[in-house]
Chain A
Amino acid sequence: MAQDTSPAANANNPKLVLSGVYKSFGNNHVLRGVDISINKGKSLVVIGGSGTGKSVMIKCVLGLLSPDKGSIRVDGEETTQLSGKERDALMRKFGMLFQGGALFDSLTIWENVAFGLVQGKAMDRRQAKEIAIEKLRSVGLPERVANLFPAELSGGMQKRVGLARAVATNPEIIFFDEPTTGLDPIMADVINDLIIEASKKLGATTLSITHDMASARKIADDIAMIYKGEIIWQGKAADIDHSGNEYVEQFIRGSAEGPIRMEV
């Protein structure tokens, strides 16, 4: 399954493209023409403050929300009008790590990890359990946690289980929603390493949203900044410190002084 992820091969091979995506809730215009393109096998991190539209953008791609206007293409195929079985088939290409883990309380850890295999791919439960335990090992969790319930694990362990679940079906595209929020710096770095390892191993295309700059620098090939529902800057992760964009500079400085004014 080796993939040619060289820049030459990927230059005109976007895996996921959002063009002019708008989404409003009443008078609250959350997305105002978002344009993003991610090449196959690349990792894009979208940074931005709270309430700038990061989560809504991801939910539009996943079909959890319908954009008011614009185009979302996966492998060149328009997805905004998909529903039912076509949507389910598309979702098999995706994996998602939710901010709070979003583990199913009523299921054991292995059932959570194997959920996409058993329900989405109709795999035999015994075989799915073996894969789930293997995925748990790959995120540094021992086999004994497999039969526990999510409430019995710490926040960091839950995040790892969420990561194992996101990669269990070997998805082509993985979304990470605030993967390090609520974790201590060391655990956050462990999660960053696991994200890089899991993504590279699968050759997956990843889109992460975060306001943790340490995490963004570590896992990104490219970084984009979203502000008031628009992408105001996009470039290589290495260029983030000399972006020449005063909004980006203020954000990475974490300063209250600058063009971005917080409503308090």
Chain B
Amino acid sequence: MSVIDDKEQQAQGAFSPVGAFLDLLEKTGGAIMVFLSAVGRLATFAGRGIYHCFTPPFYPRLLLRQLIDIGYYSLPVVGMTTLFTGMVLALQSYTGFSRFSAEGAVATVVVLSMTRELAPVLAGLMVAGRIGASIAAELGTMRVTEQIDALTTLSTNPYKYLVAPRILAGTIMLPLLVLIGDVIGVFGGYLVGVYKLGFGPQNYLHKTWEYLTSEDVVSGLWKAAAFGFIVTLLGCYHGYNSKRGAQGVGAATTNAVVSASIIILICNYLLTQLFFAGK
């Protein structure tokens, strides 16, 4: 006990507020440096990826495969998500609006919420889980099994061959998925509105169209394009820079999904402010 007490006293004796403050500053500065260097690496990676999207040689066969993988095969997931979200939105908004006799606004709330926010964000998050994870795992495995190095030795630029088709496909396909998701989500609201809440079909559709503007839909599609870019970019970035071994690939997959999801939510706020601030 006495030894421990001595050490504690020594430690306490060495304590100085200035030293502690400098230590805090050093740690904060270190964390900021790590963050900034990570942002720098990601920005450089993104820049290279975008550059190689627009410079030959192009790989149309690979792009087509990614368009099908990211777009067509994500359709069931996005469709189910938006369908049930539209349905639950109709139920919830009916419950809320009926308290002040504004049930008639249900259709408008459903269509505006779906097109402006929920379809792009939910599709982005679902695609982050499905595609972001799969891209990170695939590229991570290619990295640890030296397949990416092999590409370089076979005179093929990995950014052109692996990254560019995925980024392009994500940016092109997510708006299309969201457009379909918009329709399915509105249809979900229609089903609940007409068959459960007792709205007339024509009245519901009329209310859906009445306040909808092209800006509502287009802003959602722009968001979707941004989210598609974010998901595929982060999947590629984490997979491409995966560390050795199964653990490295696992970490790359998790990081791809988590970082894409967070950035989608942050970006969603910023884009919403950009599109609709002051309106």
Contact = CB atoms under 8 A, between A and B. Distances in A.
Contacts, number: 53
B154 A119 contact: yes
B153 A104 contact: no
B146 interface: yes
A116 B155 contact: yes
A95 B145 CA distance: 17
Contacts of A103: 147, 150
B156 A102 contact: no
Contacts of B141: 105
B34 to A, nearest CB: 15
Interface string B134-152: 0000000110011101101
A155 interface: no
A120 B149 CA distance: 14
B161 interface: yes
A183 to B, nearest CB: 17
B259 interface: no
Contacts of A62: 149, 152-153
A95 B141 CA distance: 22
Contact-residue size bin, chain A (C-beta under 8 Å from the other chain) = 20 to 34
A251 to B, nearest CB: 25
A103 B149 CA distance: 11
B153 A100 contact: no
Contacts of B150: 96, 98, 102-104
Nearest to B62: A106
A99 B153 CA distance: 14
A91 B149 CA distance: 12
Contacts of A121: 155
A96 B153 contact: yes
Contact of B154 (A59, A105, A120): A120
B241 interface: no
20 contacts: A62-B152, A64-B149, A64-B153, A88-B155, A89-B155, A91-B152, A96-B153, A100-B146, A102-B149, A103-B147, A104-B150, A105-B141, A115-B154, A116-B154, A116-B155, A119-B154, A119-B156, A120-B154, A120-B155, A165-B154
Interface of A: 59, 62-64, 88-89, 91-92, 94-96, 98-100, 102-105, 115-116, 119-121, 165
Instruction: Please name the 6 residue pairs, one residue from A and one from B, whose CB atoms are nearest each other, closest first.
Output: A120-B155, A102-B150, A102-B146, A96-B153, A116-B154, A91-B155
